[in-house]
Amino acid sequence: MKEILELNLKKLRLSGMMETIDVRLQEARACQLDHADFLELILQDELAVRQNRTIARGIKTAAFTVPKTLDQFEWNFNPEINRKQFYELATGEFIKQARDVLLIGPPGTGKTHLATALGYQAIKMNFTVFYCSIFDLVRDLLQDENLAGSSKNDRKYLKPDLLIIDDMGIKQLPKSSGEYLFEVIMRRHELRSTIMTSNRPIEEWGKLIGDVPTAGAILDRFLQHAEIIPFKGKSYRLKERVKTNSDLKNNLSEVN
């Protein structure tokens, strides 16, 4: 009987049930579960496995440099960052409303971590997400020279429910890059959500892009429905570097 059950589960591609069926049968006997309770348990097992697979595929498609979560963030390091604000964003309402988010402040203060964490949370809610640096986006579009509606870059940058554009302001962008960034922002405006992180004030975007009017047009569209979140405080990466150097010195002292 057990072999037939497992064979049928395999034919139906119910791998979640296959993984737990032995345990669930033992649980049903020990706890004298009725048929409805037993069925509910094995269905939940199947749904959990499928959800985990969906999340794994979403993370792979999103192309995060390193997946991050809100729980991993050290909120106490920079207490000026509003934890409640980010957990509200994590509900996904801003994506449903096609609103945008700008995280702006000095390097190392947690912008990329929190942007990625919001993307991860969005994937768990079955939104499609794609993460890129501003340099990757500009490089792709400069090579493609258009968003024609059927190109790979069209699918990559225009189709996701949430696009995360990281590292605006690290250095000046190549010539004509502002036109392509504007095209992406314009085509997504009021249709899909975008998160951008920037290390430089928006007043300097014209210089970074090399085109003040285009920078103004980008900001006009992007900031119309955007939530602007300033970051202040110390650099987390600098703190980690200082800690690493300190640990290394202590280890060398112990050796000597």
Q: How do the pLDDT tens digits run along the chain, 256 residues long? A: 567 777 777 777 777 777 887 888 888 888 888 888 888 888 888 888 888 889 999 999 999 999 999 999 989 888 888 999 999 999 999 999 999 999 999 888 899 999 999 999 999 999 999 999 999 998 888 877 655 544 677 788 999 999 999 988 877 788 778 888 888 999 999 999 999 999 988 888 888 888 888 889 999 999 998 999 999 866 655 544 434 334 433 443 454 4
> Measured between alpha carbons, how far is 9 from 15 in angstroms, rounded to an integer?
7
- Give the type of residue at 13: R
pLDDT at 161: 97
pLDDT at 250: 47
> Measured between alpha carbons, how far is 70 from 86 in angstroms, rounded to an integer?
8
pLDDT at 236: 58
pLDDT at 33: 85
Q: Which domains does the chain have, with CATH numbers?
A: 2-60 (no CATH), 70-238 (3.40.50.300)
Neighbours of 31 (CB within 10 A): 10
pLDDT at 247: 43
> Measured between alpha carbons, how far is 13 from 19 in angstroms, rounded to an integer?
11
pLDDT at 28: 83
> Measured between alpha carbons, how far is 69 from 119 in angstroms, rounded to an integer?
9
